[in-house]
Amino acid sequence: MNSVSTRETCSRSRTWRMIQTGTQLSSTTGKALCRKTTLTCGHTPYLLTFCLASSWFAGRISRGVAESRLRHRECGAFLVRESESAPGEFSMSVSYGDHVQHFKVLQDRCSQYYVWDEVFSSLNELVEFYHSNSIAKERTVFLRDPEHFARRPHHAHALFDFTPHHPSQLRFLRGDVIELIDCSDSLRWRGRCHGRVGYFPPEYVQPIYHCQ
């Protein structure tokens, strides 16, 4: 689904009034989520439509879940999430490598989006801009799409001993090397160690990245 943003240019001094919100369209494959919002400036209605690619749009998740998903990811890995407490408002969570930084995505009176000084007609345009312009001020951090992270870790070092509380969990000791089988769940990973296969908390391990 292509991103569409249709609106006339308006100065930031004009006041736009939202007259219809909450229209959501979702593809049957779940590849994208689209929102349509009708706005008026004076007596003229305008339709603002933007599509949120599922590769970086995480939906309505908490700050903590966002940090869990981005933990151990390379610098520039990011996601955009909808506020749990204020539907329709968005934040961007970005991995700085050593920690995760959160940015509030604001809207001006013309319903344009911004993080710093630059304004954009859609979230897609904002995200695209920060692919080639640093989202951070104190260092250089460019956003990187999830599909660009080809270096998915296949092994991890155990940081702590892990004693299973269920037969499906994997026992290991600090210093063990674990073969990673499935890391798609942010709350539990599946791996193999000493010939056994089971689940374990990802915070107990440090992924091993090999340079290509």
Distance separating alpha carbons of residues 12 and 31, to the nearest angstrom: 33
Tell me where in the chain the CATH 3.30.505.10 domain(s) lie.
57-148
For residue 103, the model assigns a pLDDT of: 93
How do the residues of the chain divide into helix, strand and coil, expressed in percent and rounded to 5?
Answer: 10, 40, 50
DSSP 3-state assignment of 189?
strand
DSSP 3-state assignment of 27?
coil
For residue 146, the model assigns a pLDDT of: 64
Taking residues 100-125, what's their average pLDDT? Answer: 87
Tens-digit pLDDT profile for residues 178-211: 999 988 777 889 999 999 999 999 889 887 754 3
Share of the chain above pLDDT 70, in %: 69
Flag whether the pTM goes above 0.95: no
Tell me where in the chain the CATH 2.30.30.40 domain(s) lie.
155-208
Distance separating alpha carbons of residues 200 and 165, to the nearest angstrom: 10
For residue 200, the model assigns a pLDDT of: 95
CATH architecture of the domain with residue range 57-148 = 2-Layer Sandwich (3.30)
CATH architecture of the domain with residue range 155-208 = Roll (2.30)
